[in-house]
Structure 1
Amino acid sequence: MLLTDKNVIITGASRGIGRAAALECARQGANVVIGYSGSPSSYSAVEELIKEIEALGQKAVAVGAPAGDPETGELLVEAAVSNFGGVDVFVNNAGICPFHSFLDMPRELYLETVNTNLNGAFFAVQAAANQMKRQGRGGAIIAVSSISALVGGGMQTHYTPTKAGLLSLMQSCAIALGPYGIRCNAVLPGTIETDINKDDLADQEKRDYMASRTPLGRLGRPEDLAGPIVFLASEMAQYVTGASLLVDGGMYVNLQ
């Protein structure tokens, strides 16, 4: 029970990595604010997640609002304070990756990706950090970046800069927020099987190729990120800040 009595906010928590992290945080004793896009198609998944968290003996509340909206962070923090009494951990996980070539990248697609993945994250992290400062007991902020922060992608010219930005944001926030006892770290997933890349991985040849690049010999699962996120959120990582943790099955070190 590494997160007993902690109150955790997770964005993009209705599915994939966010959902797995929400469940593991609850297993470890935390109450969870579930941030999701607010789309009606996601609500049934959110209701199911709340039931699963409550079955683990913890509390959960959902906030449906677009991740790219600068006001969403404040809504998430207000939900945590009003329902649970405060914020101890903020996990910025929400993100999109609509693959597209560079030369004909629609301006709208670029702006949507940057707003969702980075701009909204900045203001949400700021809102959580201000609440943690007011509380005076420190806290942990974790951004789900990507191995794409370290390597390029021809069909991801709009996406990789946002993930590099999240990594850089955590490094700078570690310095800015350290005096308040707020730790800021990033996890960098490799190829994880989620809804964000299910179409890309539908090609069996592509799946096999991606798995072959990974020393552990398989693609990642959302649950593979849950443990590292809990670790960084917990007191076990009380002297860890400004760090980037690769969770990629060894793919990055094998890219040679």
Structure 2
Amino acid sequence: MLLKDKVLLVTGGSKGIGRAIAIGAARQGARVGINYAGDEAAAESAVKEIRGFGGEAFALRGDVADPASATAFVAAAVEAYGRIDTFVNNAGICPFHGFLDMPVDVVDRTIKVNLNGAYYMCQAAANQMVRQGKKANGFAGSIVAVSSISALVGGEFQTHYTPTKAGVLSLMQSTAIALGKHGIRCNAVLPGTILTDINKDDLADEGKRSYMEGRIPLGRLGQPEDLAGPVIFLACEELAGYVTGASLLVDGGAFVNLQ
């Protein structure tokens, strides 16, 4: 129960990595709030699963690209639980497309969701943590952003996506500096190739999937649940109280093997 009685919010929490983080945190005692974009059934399913093992959870629909959704999500959490202890920025999109004919609307939407959405969501959460003030142990909260190995390496069909994930990583480094004095820790996790809805079509090709697996020292693609532990570690004051501005690769060793 590493997060017993803590409040953790996660964007894009109805599916994939976000859902795994929400459920994993709830199993560690956290009260959870889930933001989701459109799949109400998936969000309700996640909440039901958490409540099924005795956890507390709520889900709120909202487009992270809209700054108003950030303040609404934070307000809903405060109304439900009275405070926020950890905010996990996870929501992101990656519609694969070539560079030379990349549609303007695809670029704009990807930036608005992945980068702008992260900025406004983290800003709203940080303001609430500052209002709450530091606890007796000197901490006011933690922010964890899901960046990507793509922040460090390029991708032929991800020219619109990789800059946003590099931006999210940079955002955590800068907010770690800006918010340290308030007792707020800010860190990033960088997943490698994780099997989610974002890449399921791309990895449906057995040849490509085998190739990707062959580049990973641990010999397999990641599962959403592989991110839950690292995020819980970064959220836990007892374990990671002196960790801020850090980036944690969760990629099965893929990055160090790309040489």
Smaller-chain TM-score bracket:
over 0.9
* Secondary structure at the counterpart of residue 71 of structure 1: helix
- Corresponding residue for residue 95 of structure 2: 98
What does 1:93-132 correspond to in 2, within 5 Å?
93-132=90-129
Q: Which of 133, 148, 151 matches 2:150?
A: 148
What is the TM-score with the length of structure 1 in the denominator? Answer: 0.98
Deviation sequence 1:118-140 (CA, Å, 0-9, x none): 00110110000000000013101
Q: Which of 225, 228, 236 matches 2:227?
A: 225
Is 1:67–2:70 an aligned residue pair?
no
Counterpart CA distance in 2 for 1:118 and 1:70 is 12
Is 1:204–2:201 an aligned residue pair?
no
Is 1:80–2:80 an aligned residue pair?
no
Counterpart CA distance in 1 for 2:68 and 2:167 is 20
Deviation sequence 1:203-242 (CA, Å, 0-9, x none): 0000000000000000000000000000000111000000
- Corresponding residue for residue 170 of structure 1: 172
Counterpart CA distance in 1 for 2:240 and 2:100 is 43
* Secondary structure at the counterpart of residue 209 of structure 1: helix
Conserved in 2, the CA contact under 8 Å of 1:87 and 1:131? yes
- Corresponding residue for residue 34 of structure 1: 34
Deviation sequence 1:108-163 (CA, Å, 0-9, x none): 00000000000011011000000000001310100000000000111101000000
* Structure 1 residue 33, shift from structure 2 partner: 0.7
* Structure 1 residue 56, shift from structure 2 partner: 2.4
Dislocated runs of 4+, deviation >3 Å: none
* Secondary structure at the counterpart of residue 101 of structure 2: coil
Counterpart CA distance in 2 for 1:36 and 1:96 is 13
Q: Which of 139, 142, 148 matches 2:141?
A: 139
- Corresponding residue for residue 19 of structure 1: 19
Q: Which amino acid aligns with 2:144?
A: I
* Structure 1 residue 45, shift from structure 2 partner: 1.2
What does 1:226-241 correspond to in 2, within 5 Å?
226-235=228-237, 236-241=239-244
* Secondary structure at the counterpart of residue 165 of structure 1: helix
Deviation sequence 1:172-207 (CA, Å, 0-9, x none): 000000001100000000000000000000000000
Q: Which of 168, 184, 187 matches 2:186?
A: 184
Counterpart CA distance in 1 for 2:227 and 2:56 is 22
RMSD: 0.6
- Corresponding residue for residue 246 of structure 1: 249
* Secondary structure at the counterpart of residue 142 of structure 1: strand
Conserved in 2, the CA contact under 8 Å of 1:190 and 1:247? yes
* Secondary structure at the counterpart of residue 21 of structure 1: helix
* Structure 1 residue 52, shift from structure 2 partner: 1.1
- Corresponding residue for residue 50 of structure 1: 47
Q: Which amino acid aligns with 2:97?
A: H
Counterpart CA distance in 1 for 2:163 and 2:69 is 22
* Structure 1 residue 48, shift from structure 2 partner: 1.2
Counterpart CA distance in 1 for 2:168 and 2:224 is 19
